[in-house]
Structure 1
Amino acid sequence: MPAQPSAAVMLEGETRALLTRLARVRPFALHETMVPAAAPAPAAQIAIERLLIEGRRELRGRLHRYIDWLRVQGATTPPAEMQRRFAILRWRFNDVLTQFDLFQEVFTQRSEQDVGVWLSGLDVAAADALAMPGVPGRQPSAVCYLDRGPGAAIRKARARLPGGGRSPVAIIRVPRERMIGYGIGASLVHEAGHQAAALLDLVEPLRQRLRVMELRSRCAREALAWRLWQRWISEIVADFWAVGKLGIAATLGLISVVSLPRWFVFRVSVDDPHPFPYIRVRLSCAIGQALYPHAQWNALGELWSSLYPAARLDDERRQLISGLEATFPQLADVICKHRPSALQGRALVDLLPLADRTPRSLEAHYGAWAHRPVLMRSAPPTLVFAVLGHARSAGRLTPESESRLLGELIKHWALSSTLGAAAACAAPPVPAASPSLNPIPIRR
């Protein structure tokens, strides 16, 4: 039965309307205003724009083909089939807009005074947090944006996007409340740890190793501890990465996030990928002690326990905490000695800047920087976060001075990165080797 002409006409009009609206979605480079120092790194911006442009081009082609189909084969097609095909295209249209919106916040916030440049500086810090010396392959770019709430989050590079495709960059959401103090470094590096775990394929092999530890347990309480560590291992690895890169600044930053009402700090949920806050902070101190042995870790752990005394808990939760704490040394050892295939025989701990993050080294850096502040500008961002966080914990740096220093340094990282990229673009191309004027002898 021939299709009703009104259905074809209506759906063609709706499709052309989609094309009109799609044409209004322009590259960020054409409509987002920001100072050059606030812009994402060129590689990140190009990758994002290319992904979105290709998505719009693909959709535009499908919409035009649908219109052609309506005018020819669709003329004898039931209206329900016309509508089914249009609904799929409209769904895809919204996927394209969702992907655009996903990145829009990253770009739009960079037009804000100060905030935009800070975000660019945090991009640089995220790249440093992802640095893995000796690991083959190029690390993905990362872009940051601010959002409400106390916790950070990441959409990892190469993660699936709504509607299909893979994210070309890591997108890190930084809590606005962290601007600006050592907590910002802790949040940023923790999220970078999730990306590193994905790149190195850490989580599942470690979970299997913890499963073996569970099977070897000597009692039910120990087995329960290893079972819970399996559930929480993805967040534990990210915390391990943060402590490894930042030292005690990572644990202090974690405390500032999970300092919540008592009922929440001791709330145990097996559905939550995070360890409950009380044990998470205690474990962070244990990891710090394993990586950088020092009395500061025990002191900080005891301080945390004094803020949330466990003695007032019921017997069941006290027993659970005791069982978990008893496995701290073994758990830290398993993670430190894990040898992912990507490291070709090296242990995970070998990726960390151990010599430069010991308490003694951090104190030496701070002493040198106090006499020559300009040295801070050439230091890697994660080292800056580590040194200033350590100085805060030791009472040598006030919160006001820390915020001022970090604000200036984050802007410096943004400016240096921008000028470095501009200089690379402005450099004259290396001339190709001139052909030899002497004839090449021919062997006879």
Structure 2
Amino acid sequence: MEATSAAVPLLDGEARALLTRLDRVKPFALHETMVPAAAPTPQAQAAVERFLLTGRRELRRRVAAYLAWLAGPGRTASPQLAQRRFTVLRSRFNGVLTQFDLFQEAITQRSERDTGVWLAGLDIAAADALTTPRTPLHTPPPVLTYLDHGPGAAIRRANTRIPGGGRTPVALIRMPRERMVGYGIGASLVHEVGHQAAALLGLVDSLRPVLLDAELTGRDPAERAAFAYWGLTISEIVADFWSVGQLGVAGTLGLMGVVSLPRRFVFAVVPDDPHPMPYIRVRLSCALGDALYPHPQWRALASLWSALHPPAPLPRNLMLLLEALESTVPRFVDVLLNHRPPTLGGLRLADVMPLASRRPEQLLARHRYWTRRPELLRRAPPTLVFAVLGQARAAARITPEVESLLLGDAITHWALAGTLATTQRCAGARPEVSAGTAGS
């Protein structure tokens, strides 16, 4: 009984201390400073605040229930039971703080000079990349981008589980700081958006059984192994398809920048890794680009990639797999682009891409026109801007310095345009500044 009487006030104090810490967790709108143009979209900020507020309310309810139990039945319960219940409560408390910290990093960066405005502009670009002209996404999730270190981008897709419990209310995209240059910006961003689009459209689940179908793979063991590999890595391949489909050659060049690694990594096959071998991944991106937007540039780029990373010599088993993958690329590309998932209502996967505006010659013609009328670049949809400038860079029409200057100006404008549009919608006025619409 002495231990029980001592445990109750101790654990009562600990539980009440959790509440005092919880009281210091304020909504981001009350303690984050940022210029209006750097703010997340109202949809994203509202979704995050609602999610965190719900978690805090639920935790308060649990703490109150625990304190009531301590004051009642808990007074005669064993110290072990009281401690076990408190441990569960504290675990939930730490989960709420973890969720707050997860979003705080993305929100706090909006207070950084220039960085915050760029992130807001990338939010607009990501939203544009998520909804193509023929994609049936009537209510796409809000997007929130932030910067971090590391060689590759990543995404926490909307409605997926996060640490501490619950499901994230936004698509949270992490952009590597070292990728915030040239066509690497658009390629990394749109690749991650591709993961979100694939989840919303159920592309991986509908494609994987097709790739493992015996009628497709036939009796050849090498061909079966190749299509099994395509099936294993289809989630990353679909995201690469989304990037090259939206951005043209800028998507492939951006991918090359990420996977231009030491040779042992370029030809590495890691068991159960959803990322394709970098060498074949770039070759496949070129094949996808050529199938969507036929042009000699794709074969030239594939040849250049092979010259930069010659595939021989390699161990025999790896060489056999590589040969099987290379031989099945045309057939695999045909299956992928002509796939008709149930969510697209009979459309092919290729049909959701802006096929009418991304051919290389069209992009270069648009770049020439924008050179004479630069104000049109600001009015164009972000994905089209990425595609045009990437194509112009690939054709040596602009230098890396000019590309970065134009992209920086465009991204800043998207942030400003988004802010003015939101303000004027709230005021009931028609926005005068536009960041473009998807598929123009």
| Alignment TM-score, normalising by the size of structure 1 | 0.94
Aligned-residue offset at 1:364: 1.1
Q: Distance in 2 between matches of 1:201 and 1:62?
A: 37
Which residue of 1 is the match for residue 133 of structure 2? Answer: 133
Which residue of 1 is the match for residue 438 of structure 2? Answer: none
Which residue of 2 is the match for residue 88 of structure 1? Answer: 88
| More deviation, 157-166/34-43 | 157-166
Aligned-residue offset at 1:214: 7.2
Alignment of 1:12-411 (within 5 A): 12-134=12-134, 135-212=136-213, 216-411=217-412
Q: Distance in 2 between matches of 1:427 and 1:396?
A: 42
Which residue of 2 is the match for residue 436 of structure 1? Answer: none
The structure-2 alpha-carbon separation of the partners of 1:229 and 1:13, relative to structure 1 and needing over 3 Å to count, comes to same
Q: Distance in 2 between matches of 1:284 and 1:47?
A: 35
* 1:2–1:78 contact (8 Å) kept in structure 2: no
Q: Distance in 2 between matches of 1:342 and 1:318?
A: 38
| More deviation, 337-346/227-236 | 337-346
Q: Distance in 2 between matches of 1:136 and 1:152?
A: 23
* 1:214–1:222 contact (8 Å) kept in structure 2: no
| Code of the aligned partner of 1:5 | S
* 1:145–1:172 contact (8 Å) kept in structure 2: yes
Deviation per CA, 1:9-56: give whole Å up to 9, x if none.
000000010000010011111111110000000011000001001100
SS of 1:355's partner is coil
Runs of 4+ in 1 over 3 A off after TM superposition: 213-216
Q: Distance in 1 between matches of 2:140 and 2:235?
A: 20
Q: Distance in 2 between matches of 1:177 and 1:216?
A: 40
Aligned-residue offset at 1:221: 1.2
The structure-2 alpha-carbon separation of the partners of 1:224 and 1:127, relative to structure 1 and needing over 3 Å to count, comes to same
Q: Distance in 1 between matches of 2:321 and 2:165?
A: 42
Instruction: Give the fraction of aligned pairs with identical amino acids, expressed as a percent.
Output: 62
Q: Distance in 1 between matches of 2:132 and 2:179?
A: 26
Which residue of 1 is the match for residue 434 of structure 2? Answer: none
| Code of the aligned partner of 1:392 | R
SS of 2:146's partner is strand
Aligned-residue offset at 1:68: 1.2
Superposed CA RMSD in Å reads: 1.4
| Code of the aligned partner of 1:121 | G
What stretches of structure 1 of length at least 5 have no aligned partner? 430-444
What stretches of structure 2 of length at least 5 have no aligned partner? 431-440
Aligned-residue offset at 1:317: 2.2
Q: Which has the larger radius of gyration?
A: 1
| Code of the aligned partner of 2:4 | Q
* 2:287–2:329 contact (8 Å) kept in structure 1: yes
* 2:217–2:223 contact (8 Å) kept in structure 1: no
Aligned-residue offset at 1:315: 3.0
Aligned-residue offset at 1:311: 2.4
SS of 2:356's partner is helix
Aligned-residue offset at 1:2: 8.2
| More deviation, 118-127/222-231 | 222-231
Q: Distance in 1 between matches of 2:319 and 2:215?
A: 20
| Alignment TM-score, normalising by the size of structure 2 | 0.95
Aligned-residue offset at 1:299: 0.1
Q: Distance in 1 between matches of 2:404 and 2:132?
A: 28
| Code of the aligned partner of 1:329 | P
Which residue of 1 is the match for residue 417 of structure 2? Answer: 416
* 1:2–1:75 contact (8 Å) kept in structure 2: no
Q: Distance in 2 between matches of 1:423 and 1:332?
A: 45
| Code of the aligned partner of 2:284 | L
Q: Distance in 2 between matches of 1:254 and 1:324?
A: 19
* 1:228–1:270 contact (8 Å) kept in structure 2: no
Aligned-residue offset at 1:331: 1.0
